[in-house]
Amino acid sequence: MPVEFISATFPNQSTEITPIPGAKIDPEYLIRYARSLDDYEYNYTLVPYDSSYFDPWTVASTISAVTKKLKVIIALRPNTLYPTLAAKALATLDQISGGRVVVHFIAGGSDVEQAREGDFLTKEQRYERLEEFIKICKRAWSSTEAFDWDGKHYQFKGFRNLVVPNNGSSIPVSVGGSSDEAYRVGGSLGDIFGLWGEPLKETQGQIDRIYAEAEKAGRTDRPRIWVTFRPIVAETEELAWAKAHRTLDALNSNRDAGKSRVLGTAVGPNAVAPQNVGSQRLLEIAKKGEVQDRALWYPTVTATGARGASTALVGSYQTVVDSILDYVDLGCELISIRGYDNLNDAIDYGRYILPKVREGIKERAEKATNGAEGEGENGVEAA
């Protein structure tokens, strides 16, 4: 499948570098943001979830109503919705949008955050529940026949779903994480597996783990790999690095003043260490150096305590394009890029990054084709 691009949806002008306390949804801004993603040919936008943040279903419905091609990725925690209802809700929105829905399941990486909405399961139990949840949704989407379920976390009898996805059988399922449990569940059941931006070597290691779990589960296919970055770009290297340090200063200043928030979660100087493995990995990698590979910059990780996707790619447009292509060469098919000046960065990426990455992919494909043809002409059977 072709390489595709993901952004994230922001419903108002509040950002991590210029936070607006208590900001409400700005419908005009949300619509402008969504339509900009559509116009610049992003393929998806993630609608995130947090216990204190806006309802993703309402936001996703609004986005699908004002765009033509953009697909919405709804972040969903299993503790917030019964799986039979989730299956119907996702299929309903998928029908309304003309098949433009993806679901990103979140097992839950923080006991404290899960407890805010009444979820007191352990991490291991949360992944067991997630596995059941996904299996129930897939069963509900693939057949209109009534079925029973007698699992550890869900039990019901005679459920029948008449609300089928737009394509008649499925909605793409995404799972993310960096723990053994995440690799197992996502590798065996996910159509997409989401990773945060780590160096190439570490990313390859995670991809190998995911593929191994897919093989162990008896799959003949593999999850598509989604990797996320926070690019800081400009016309030249010098301008990009100056912008990066201004961004870092703002992040540090907001953190020290207690103004910093990632979604609805405060990030302050006395914040406890993150519990999820993905954040722990980012913080450990950050200790190895500020810049890794071509342009992967880690001070934004430490400034935010690795809450959420936080690794930056810093450099000129071409440097960042080349860095993204390095991950494409690893097999990453879904590239998520979002900045710190949300709307303006999304527009800049749409103008200067997405077209160049697509051009680079096309050039690679042409070289591969020409190389195969050349081997055939020289008497060597082409692959």
Closest to 274 (Cα-Cα) out of 309, 245, 249: 309
Task: Please indicate, yes or no, if residue 191 is contained in any of the structural domains.
Answer: yes
Please write the tens of the pLDDT for every residue from 315-371: 999 999 999 999 999 999 999 999 999 999 999 999 999 999 999 999 999 988 887
Task: Please indicate, yes or no, if residue 70 is contained in any of the structural domains.
Answer: yes
Task: Please indicate, yes or no, if residue 98 is contained in any of the structural domains.
Answer: yes
What is the extent of the structural domain holding 286? Answer: 4-352
In the three-class reduction of DSSP (H, G, I as helix; E, B as strand; rest coil), residue 335 is classed as strand
Task: Report the CATH number at residue 305.
Answer: 3.20.20.30
Closest to 85 (Cα-Cα) out of 155, 153, 159: 159
> Is residue 264 predicted with pLDDT exceeding 70?
no
Task: Please indicate, yes or no, if residue 261 is contained in any of the structural domains.
Answer: yes
Q: What is the pLDDT of residue 381?
A: 43
Q: What is the pLDDT of residue 307?
A: 85
Task: Please indicate, yes or no, if residue 367 is contained in any of the structural domains.
Answer: no
Domains contained in the chain, number: 1
Closest to 346 (Cα-Cα) out of 361, 360, 358, 336: 336
Task: Please indicate, yes or no, if residue 243 is contained in any of the structural domains.
Answer: yes
Q: What is the pTM of this model?
A: 0.93
Closest to 260 (Cα-Cα) out of 11, 18, 34: 18
Please write the tens of the pLDDT for every residue from 148-160: 999 999 999 999 9
What is the secondary structure of 45-78 as a DSSP string?
A: EEE---TTS--HHHHHHHHHHH-SSPEEEEEE-G
Task: Please indicate, yes or no, if residue 265 is contained in any of the structural domains.
Answer: yes
Calpha distance 207→6 (Å, rounded): 19
Q: What is the pLDDT of residue 383?
A: 36
Task: Please indicate, yes or no, if residue 26 is contained in any of the structural domains.
Answer: yes
